[in-house]
Amino acid sequence: DPATGKYTVSFIEGDGVGPEISKAVKDIFVAAKAPIQWESCDVSPLFINGLTTIPQPAQDSINKNLIALKGPLATPIGKGHRSLNLTLRKTFGLFANVRPAKSVEGYKTAYDNVDLVLIRENTEGEYSGIEHVVSPGVVQSIKLITQDASERVIRYAFEYARAVERPKVLVVHKSTIQRLADGLFVNVANELAKEYPDIELQTEILDKTVLNTVTDPSKYKDVVVVCPNLYGDILSDLNSGLSAGSLGLTPSANIGHQVSIFEAVHGSAPDIAGQNKANPTALLLSSVMMLNHMGLTEIADKIEKAVFTAIASSPENRTADLGGSASTSSFAEAVISRL
C-alpha cells in the first residue's frame, strides 16, 4: 500500500486456540513495527454439491494479497467432507510444504543444535485419494507420481537451498521398492541437478535417513531434504520431535506458484482452547518464515531472536507445553519486552 508503506497479508485466525495465538502474533507485530496490515479472512467452509469450498471473499483476499498467515483449522470428523486444509492446498495450488525444525538454544531437548529443513511434495503421491475395492477384502490404493509435480517441488528445493545457503539437496526415497514411482522422482532430481551446479545433489533411502536422523541429526545440518508426500509427512514430525520435543514450536510454509500460506504445524488444540494457555511460538515462527519469504529479513530476525531469547530466559517465560508457567499473553509480553 503506497499510502501507508505497508504490505497487506490475509490472516485466517483459525479455530480452537487460533484466535488466542493470532492475537499474540498481532500484538508482537505492532510492537516490532512490522510493516504489515492484516486482512481478516473467514474460511468457514461451504459445502456445495458435496464439494468443500472456501467462501469467495476469502479466496479473493488471498488471490489479491498472495500471502496468508493461517491458524489451525478443526476438521469435523466423519462428516464425509474433504478437510479444509486439503481444500486450501488444492484451491491455491500449494505444491511444496516447507518444514524447518530447529532447536531453541537454552531449552533442553534430546539433542542440542538440531537444524533440519525438509520440503514435502504436497499434492500427490499417497495422498491422491485414488482408492478402490478390487474384490471383497482386497483394496487398491494408488500412489501417483508425475514428472510435473516432482519437477516443481524439487526445483523449489534447489532454489530454497540457494536462498538459505545450504550446499546440498538430499532426495529421500524408496526407489528400491517403488521402482517406477520413486524412480521417476529421483530421475527428475538428477536431471534438474544439471541446472544447479552450485548445489550438490545427494539421494538416500528413507530407512537410512530415519536411522541417521534419530542417532545424529547434525548429519543433515547443511542439506535441504525433499521427498514424496507420505515420507515427508512422517519424517517432518520426527524432525519436530527431535528439535523441540513437540509440535508446539514448529512452523511451516505452503508454497504455490503465486500464493503462499504460512501456518503452525499443530492443530486447534481443543483441550486448551479459550484458556490463555496455548504456545503461540509455532505461529510466530511461521510469521517469521513469511517475513523472510517477503524479503523483510531484518524484522524477521528481530522477532525470531526475541522469541528464542524469551523461551531461553526462564521457565516463567515458557508456556505449559514447554514445562513453564507462562500464559499465551504473558509469553507475548516477554517477547515484546525483548524486541
Q: Please report how close the Cβ of residue 210 comes to ligand NAD at its closest, in angstroms.
A: 22
Q: What DSSP designation does 123 have?
A: S
- Residues in the interface with ligand NAD (CB under 6 A) total 21
Residue 236 near residue 91 (C-beta atoms within 8 A): no
Q: To the nearest whole angstrom, how small is the minimum distance from the Cβ of residue 176 to ligand NAD? A: 31
Separation between Cα atoms, residue 37 and residue 164, nearest integer Å: 26
CB nearer to ligand NAD: pick between 188 and 332: 332
Helix pair 147-163, 181-193: axis angle to 10 deg:
40
Residue spans of alpha helices (H) in the chain? 18-31, 56-65, 84-91, 147-163, 181-193, 206-215, 229-244, 281-293, 297-313, 328-336
Which is closer to ligand NAD, CB of 268 or CB of 317? 268
Phi, psi of 300 (to 5 degrees): -60, -45
The answer to whether 94 contacts ligand NAD (rule: CB under 6 A) is: no
Verify binding: residue 321, ligand NAD, rule CB under 6 A: yes
Cell of 170: 538430499
Among 165, 198, 271, 298, the residue binding ligand NAD under the rule CB under 6 A is: 271
CA distance 261 to 217: 28
- Closest CB to ligand NAD among residues 7, 280: 280
Q: Is 54 in the site for ligand NAD (CB under 6 A)?
A: no
- Least Cβ distance, residue 269 to ligand NAD (angstroms): 4
N residues, the chain: 339
Q: Which residues in the 71-90 window bind ligand NAD by CB under 6 A?
A: 72-75, 85
Using CB under 6 A as the binding rule, whether residue 267 contacts ligand NAD is answered as: yes
* The dihedral sign for the CA sequence 125, 126, 127, 129: positive
For residues 73 and 255, which CB has a smaller minimum distance to ligand NAD in the complex? Answer: 73
Interacting residue ranges for ligand NAD, rule: CB under 6 A: 17, 21, 72-75, 85, 247-248, 263, 266-272, 278-279, 282, 321
